[in-house]
Amino acid sequence: MTETFYEVLRRQGITRRSFLKFCSLTATSLGLGSAAAPRIAHAMETKPRTPVLWLHGLECTCCSESFIRSAHPLTKDVVLSMLSLDYDDTLMAAAGHQAEAILDEVKKKYKGQYIVAVEGNPPLNEDGMFCIQGGRPFVEKLKETCADAKAIISWGACASYGCVQAAKPNPTRATPVHKVITGKPIINVPGCPPIAEVMTGVVTYMLTFDRIPELDRQGRPKMFYGQRIHDKCYRRGHFDAGQFAEAWDDEGSRKGYCLYKMGCKGPTTYNACSSMRWNGGVSWPVQSGHGCIGCSEDGFWDKGSFYDRVTDIKAFGVESNADTIGKAAAGTVGAAIAAHAAVTALARARQKAGESEKVSENQGEK
Amino acid sequence: MLSQQDMLEAERHGKQVRSIYVYEAPVRLWHWINALAMVVLAVTGYFIGLPLPTMPGEASDNFLMGYIRFAHFAAAYIFAIGLLGRIYWAFVGNHHAKQIFKLPITNRQWWSEVFFELRWYLFLEKTPKKYVGHNPMAQLMMFFFFTVLAVGMVFTGFALYSEGAGLGTWSDTLFGWVIPALGGSLQVHNLHRLGMWIMMTFAVIHIYAAIREDIMSRQSLISTMISGWRMFKD
């Protein structure tokens, strides 16, 4: 048995008062209300720390960069006290065989008890040769490590959806984790990177309640991905009023009007940026004057320009947006109808002339 | 003498102008309400995707996008509920009311008449055939470009509506799955807009064909959708 969170915290000289403060802060940041604070405290006093193995596939480490900047709870608290981060090749001190041995050890000792956090994804082309770790393809390491895991967290757009390395034409066949690992609960935490507090929040929830958070249809935690950027955007009032920035340097832009016309993807993006913000609540993209690019949405690299609202649809090898196709179709059909009507009128006039000739002939006979 | 001649004329004419009751009142009512809803939906939808120039003054004094979206959602409810009512009427109404919901694709005669109609529209046939309901070509077009497309627009539309309504609402429960199935929210927005263009293009063809046939095929079309009676002029 490993130590409980509380034992570790006390050993580090943290007072009970600070510990309880941390519990209520965590309860609030998870949106659970004050009643959950004692439950979190109780869980942390009684539960052993859960081992977490953090794997890195094809990725840029922006998820790790984000994670280590978490302010509520502080990453220091999460990493040193709450979870037992037994393996993370970017952060750990051990290296080489020593490091790889930990994977086997945890796998045996905590069978079915540990959590695998995956940053990045495995490329499947050429038998996975595009991502080699410890002399073998990452996809093998991922499959082996996940085999005895309790649950898997897919960090970021890479692990959840594939991100830039899976963008068309995806030469390495980078594949999201949930398409490689089956039969295990997988929590998708998309974003490029995800918000630090969302990451620590998901971990805290899983460790304190010993269950995975409630997920939506795409496997994302509802508490952080239940609403769009647009639904909680502080510029929403300008959207409803019909006040938009129409150029990066116009009056509307200076006044902080809605960035919808500048291609903001807030209305089509599920994330917590507009409510939790970034860097400890300092700012977030829309607040700094740039529209959302939709980095937590599936395949956002392949969904057309970041600066258009009506973006290109890729189909049949052609790239065109709905308005271009629609106007072309309506124009063609309009012209065709005009021509058709003209031909009809001509044909009818000729037919009528023929008929009246016949009529006059008949009258002549009479 | 003249009045007597007029009466005779009218009587003979009366024998020639035969009429059949085609469209029952609910179908006619639905047609025009639906047409109005489509106009509102297309115009407001266009401006939701590409909004009007920015509004001056304080945000609290304006609610333009709010009103445009309200009109869109209100018309969408009318369109969707109307479509449901129309589907119900396909079951209880006369056999013409079923035409736009099912195609007799196994009927060879029907297919040959589809091609006959195609030739007629291409000026390759001199005299048109007469139909009490839709002609086979019109039926085919109506099925794909109205019925199927309208169902698609309702599904994508309510899926997008559910994004604002929130998780767990009825629209999310019924239509929320459409969003990941079609490749994300932005993709659904784009497809919904493309659907609008297809429907509008079809509406143009529909109106043109109705006016043209009204003149050319010597039977009533436009007034039929008002009175319900199809008149044959010779």
* Of A78-92, B57-71, B73-87, B163-177, minimum mean pLDDT range: A78-92
Residues with Cβ within 8 Å of residue B39, at least 6 apart in sequence: none
Low-confidence ranges of chain A (pLDDT < 70): 1-2, 73, 76-82, 314-319, 355-366
Residues with Cβ within 8 Å of residue B188, at least 6 apart in sequence: B156, B159, B160, B178, B179, B182
Domain containing residue B228: CATH number: 1.20.950.20
What pLDDT, on the 0 to 100 scale, is given for residue A35?
Answer: 85
Residue for token pair 């031909």: A343
Residue B1 has pLDDT above 50, yes or no: no
Write the burial class of residue B162 (CB in 10 Å: 0-12 exposed, 13-18 middle, 19+ buried): buried
CATH level 3 topology of A49-221: Rossmann fold (3.40.50)
What pLDDT, on the 0 to 100 scale, is given for residue A194?
Answer: 95
Domain contains B113: yes
DSSP secondary structure code for residue A99 in this structure:
H
Helices B64-92, B149-165: inter-axial angle, 10-degree rounding: 140
- R_g (Cα) of chain A, nearest Å: 29
In this prediction, residue B44 has a pLDDT band, given cuts at 50, 70 and 90, of: very high
**Is the CB of B54 less than 8 angstroms away from the CB of A303?**
no
Domain contains B116: yes
What pLDDT, on the 0 to 100 scale, is given for residue B125?
Answer: 84
DSSP secondary structure code for residue B55 in this structure:
P
**Beta strands per DSSP E along chain B:** 18-21, 229-232
For residue B190, the chain A residues in CB contact (below 8 A) are: 310-311, 313, 321-322
Could you give the number of structural domains in chain B?
1
Residue B114 has pLDDT above 80, yes or no: yes
Q: Which residue has the higher pLDDT, B182 or B17?
A: B182
Looking at domain A227-316, its CATH architecture is: Irregular (4.10)
A154 three-class SS = strand
What pLDDT, on the 0 to 100 scale, is given for residue A359?
Answer: 55
CA distance B228 to chain A (A): 26
DSSP secondary structure code for residue A78 in this structure:
I
Which tokens go with A298? 């599936």
Query: Is the CB of residue A214 less than 8 Å away from at least one CB of chain B?
Result: no
Residue among A217, A311, A330 whose CB faces B197 most closely: A330
d(CA B26, CA B73): 23
Query: Is the CB of residue A243 less than 8 Å away from at least one CB of chain B?
Result: yes
Q: How many CB atoms neighbour CB A92 within 10 A? A: 14
What pLDDT, on the 0 to 100 scale, is given for residue B3?
Answer: 64
What pLDDT, on the 0 to 100 scale, is given for residue B13?
Answer: 61
* Chain-centroid distance, C-alpha B77: 16
A114 three-class SS = coil
Find, in chain A, the residue whose alpha carbon is nearest to that of B212.
A341
What pLDDT, on the 0 to 100 scale, is given for residue A210?
Answer: 82
Residue among A240, A268, A348 whose CB faces B65 most closely: A240
- Domain carrying residue B105: 24-55+65-233
What pLDDT, on the 0 to 100 scale, is given for residue A80?
Answer: 62
Residue B232 has pLDDT above 60, yes or no: yes
Q: Which residue has the higher pLDDT, B211 or B15?
A: B211
Max distance between CA atoms of chain A, in angstroms, equals 124
Domain contains B209: yes
Domain contains B15: no
CA distance A111 to chain B (A): 34
Dihedral over Cα of B32, B37, B38, B40: its sign: positive
Residues with Cβ within 8 Å of residue B167, at least 6 apart in sequence: A216, A222, A226, A227, B176
Q: Tell me the β-bridge partners of A85.
A: A52
Q: State the binding site of A for [4Fe-4S] cluster.
A: 60, 63, 158, 192, 230, 233, 258, 264
What pLDDT, on the 0 to 100 scale, is given for residue B51?
Answer: 93
d(CA A85, CA A78): 9
B-proximal residues of A, 299-338, CB under 8 Å: 299, 303-304, 309-311, 313, 321-323, 325-327, 329-330, 333-334, 337
Q: Which of B60, B169, B197 to mutate to test the interface with A (most CBs of A within 10 A)?
A: B197
How big is the CA angle at A120 (ends A116 and A122), to the nearest 5 degrees? 90
pLDDT tens digits, A252-288: 999 999 999 999 999 999 999 999 999 888 999 999 9
Average pLDDT in the B24-30 region? 94
Domain contains B115: yes
How big is the CA angle at A71 (ends A66 and A74), to the nearest 5 degrees? 95
Domain contains B18: no
Confirm if B184 and A265 have CB atoms less than 8 A apart.
no
What pLDDT, on the 0 to 100 scale, is given for residue A291?
Answer: 94
